[in-house]
């Protein structure tokens, strides 16, 4: 993307965004951010009438933006003025290597050209049956009532699903792996928000643990690639690894194994927890809104009865889709998208100095009262066809926008739609009393400290 598409800088743009009050001399706003990142960012956005607020992480200036217009400026119109940022790259590279979440420039463009076609709306329906089979197997364990944490359960389920979709393999009961992933994400979040942000090679206890976790995850995925290369029926296996192994650059060459590992790991990491959090929030919202739950049950029971849902049924289940979209409005899994200005630029009426971190705050974007009436209310009818069409451009961005827009969005939407239907059709979910559940940003936005519920198969 070139800077030529950018709007002309406003002549009144002379000042950086005003610094929010409460910055401590040394740490800036880092302490509030580390304590509760989403509340801190939402507070900064709410206090800024034009949705642009300045703050500090240690000595470093940062800005948070949360209106459709300013988000578009950063992600589309002036995208050439930003990179992913040193903090984000330092946090992701140890795990994801040079995969799509880290690479930039020509490597990034080249990789998107060959990865994206395998995640297109034409390609994703072939994965629907795998998703449904995993979900049905998963819930079938609950013939007798059980008390569970929905966040942990949805993490296991989406891990099973993504491991099948990518590698035609099982991750079931791999507790060491599940723990390694959670801890690796916690380390990433710390690396993004901490003032000092020591590189991974510095042998602090936190870094040593992170190195062990990252090695475990990378080894686990590398083994799939080695096994697949040696497998006689590798051409026939229907999964994303086969697609990525068979794909070709313009010059006819294939992806080198090192990059294949990075891209497979990136797709696996980018999709697993985002989908788990989206589904956990959906279940939580349905369990706390009876009228919506009743409408979902009416829809799945009348369309499906007891039979297994297929991709073809999805057009007959529009309300399930509306519910999933509304859950991602209130709780977008990727609530905070970081960028760093690579040169002096502007946003709204403000100047942005080279080096400034700019955070896209999707959580607050999705709560703009001028766009979403009564924004805190869970109301899936906002996404009824006509009302959704009337939404202003870029007012709803669970998958980002511009040159880094999520390549997995079609797969994620299909998965969310199918899982919402299967869960409603098969399960009764009742929250256990006495819980205070809040959104917590740990790379993704998850319900914290978890969602305790009683689950049982419906008759
Ligand atoms: C509910 C599920 C998901 C959500 C909410 C989500 C959200 C996002 C967002 C907001 C971005 C943009 C980040 C940025 O601009 O820096 C992104 C990027 C990405 N996502 Fe997703 N995602 C989901 C599922 C998936 C799936 C299923 C896959 C792959 C199979 C995937 C693969 C990726 C990759 C590779 C990128 C990096 C793209 C780039 O920078 O070029 N995501 N995702």
What are the boundaries of each domain within the chain?
A: 3-457
State how far the Cα of 330 lies from the Cα of 230, in Å rounded to an integer. 45
Digit-coded pLDDT (tens) for 199-216? 788 888 888 999 999 999
| Separation of CA 56 and ligand 1 centre (Å) | 27
- Report which protein residue has its CA nearest ligand 1's atom 28: 408
| Separation of CA 361 and ligand 1 centre (Å) | 15
| SS3 assignment, position 50 | coil
Digit-coded pLDDT (tens) for 216-268? 999 999 999 999 988 877 778 889 999 999 999 999 999 999 999 999 999 98
Digit-coded pLDDT (tens) for 349-377? 999 999 999 999 999 999 999 999 999 99
Range with the largest mean pLDDT of 88-102, 136-150, 230-244: 136-150
Most ligand 1 atoms within 8 A of CB, residue of 408, 441, 445 to mutate: 408
Digit-coded pLDDT (tens) for 413-436? 999 999 999 999 999 999 999 999
As beta bridge partners, residue 337 has 360
| Separation of CA 406 and ligand 1 centre (Å) | 4
- Please state the φ and ψ torsions of residue 446, each to the nearest 5 degrees: -115, 155
Closest among 409, 441, 365 to 45, alpha carbons compared: 365
Q: What is the DSSP string of 217-274?
A: HHHHHHHHHHHHHH-TTTTT--SHHHHHHH-B-TTS-B--HHHHHHHHHHHHHHHHHH
- Which atom of ligand 1 lies closest to the CA of 401? 15
Q: What is the CATH number of domain 3-457?
A: 1.10.630.10
What's residue 2's pLDDT? 38
| Separation of CA 389 and ligand 1 centre (Å) | 23
CB-ligand 1 contact for 364 (6 Å cutoff): no
Structure-token match 């009876």, residue found: 290
Are 333 and 278 spatial neighbours (Cβ–Cβ below 8 Å)? yes
pLDDT of 34 > 80? The answer is no
- Which atom of ligand 1 lies closest to the CA of 119? 30
| Residue 394 or residue 233, greater confidence | 394
pLDDT of 5 > 70? The answer is no
CB-ligand 1 contact for 102 (6 Å cutoff): no
Most ligand 1 atoms within 8 A of CB, residue of 403, 406, 412, 413 to mutate: 406
pLDDT category, 193, cuts 50, 70, 90? low
CB-ligand 1 contact for 271 (6 Å cutoff): yes
| Separation of CA 328 and ligand 1 centre (Å) | 14
| Separation of CA 274 and ligand 1 centre (Å) | 8
Digit-coded pLDDT (tens) for 266-324? 998 899 889 999 999 999 999 999 999 999 999 999 999 999 999 999 999 999 999 99
CB-ligand 1 contact for 333 (6 Å cutoff): yes
């Amino acid at each position: 993307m070139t800077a030529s598409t950018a709007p002309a800088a406003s002549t009144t743009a002379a000042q950086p965004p005003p610094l929010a009050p409460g910055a401590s001399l040394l740490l800036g706003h880092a302490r509030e951010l580390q304590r509760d990142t989403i509340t801190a960012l939402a507070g900064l956005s709410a206090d800024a009438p034009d949705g642009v607020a300045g703050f500090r992480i240690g000595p470093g200036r940062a800005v948070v933006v949360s209106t459709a217009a300013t988000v578009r400026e950063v992600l589309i119109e002036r995208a050439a003025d930003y990179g992913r940022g040193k903090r984000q790259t330092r946090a992701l590279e140890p795990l994801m290597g040079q995969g799509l979440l880290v690479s930039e420039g020509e490597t990034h463009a080249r990789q998107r050209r060959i990865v994206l076609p395998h995640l297109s709306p034409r390609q994703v329906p072939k994965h629907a049956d795998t998703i449904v089979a995993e979900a049905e197997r998963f819930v079938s364990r609950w013939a007798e009532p059980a008390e569970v944490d929905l966040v942990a359960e949805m993490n296991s389920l989406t891990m099973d699903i993504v491991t099948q979709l990518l590698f035609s393999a099982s991750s079931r009961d791999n507790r060491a792996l599940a723990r390694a992933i959670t801890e690796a994400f916690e380390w990433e979040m710390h690396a993004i928000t901490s003032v000092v942000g020591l590189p991974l090679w510095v042998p602090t206890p936190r870094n040593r643990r992170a190195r062990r976790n990252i090695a475990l995850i990378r080894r686990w995925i590398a083994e799939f690639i080695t096994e697949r290369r040696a497998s006689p029926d590798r051409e026939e296996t229907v999964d994303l690894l086969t697609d990525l192994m068979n794909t070709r650059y313009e010059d006819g060459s294939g992806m080198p194994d090192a990059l294949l590992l990075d891209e497979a790991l990136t797709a696996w990491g980018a999709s697993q927890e985002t989908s788990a959090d989206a589904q956990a929030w959906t279940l939580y919202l349905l369990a706390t809104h009876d009228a919506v739950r009743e409408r979902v049950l009416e829809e799945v029971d009348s369309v499906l009865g007891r039979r297994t849902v297929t991709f073809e049924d999805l057009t007959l289940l529009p309300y399930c889709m509306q519910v999933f979209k509304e859950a991602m409005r209130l709780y977008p899994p990727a609530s905070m998208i970081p960028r760093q200005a690579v040169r002096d630029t502007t946003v709204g009426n403000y100047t942005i100095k080279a080096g400034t971190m700019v955070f896209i705050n999707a959580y607050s974007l999705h709560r703009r009262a001028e766009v979403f009436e009564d924004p805190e209310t869970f109301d899936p009818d906002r996404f009824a066809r006509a009302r959704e069409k009337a939404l202003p451009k870029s007012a709803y961005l669970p998958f980002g926008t511009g040159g880094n827009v999520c390549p997995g969005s079609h797969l994620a939407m299909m998965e969310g739609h199918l899982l919402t239907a299967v869960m409603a059709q098969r399960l009764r979910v009742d929250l256990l009393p006495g819980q205070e559940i809040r959104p917590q940003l740990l790379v993704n936005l998850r319900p914290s400290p978890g969602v305790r519920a009683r689950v049982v198969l419906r008759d």
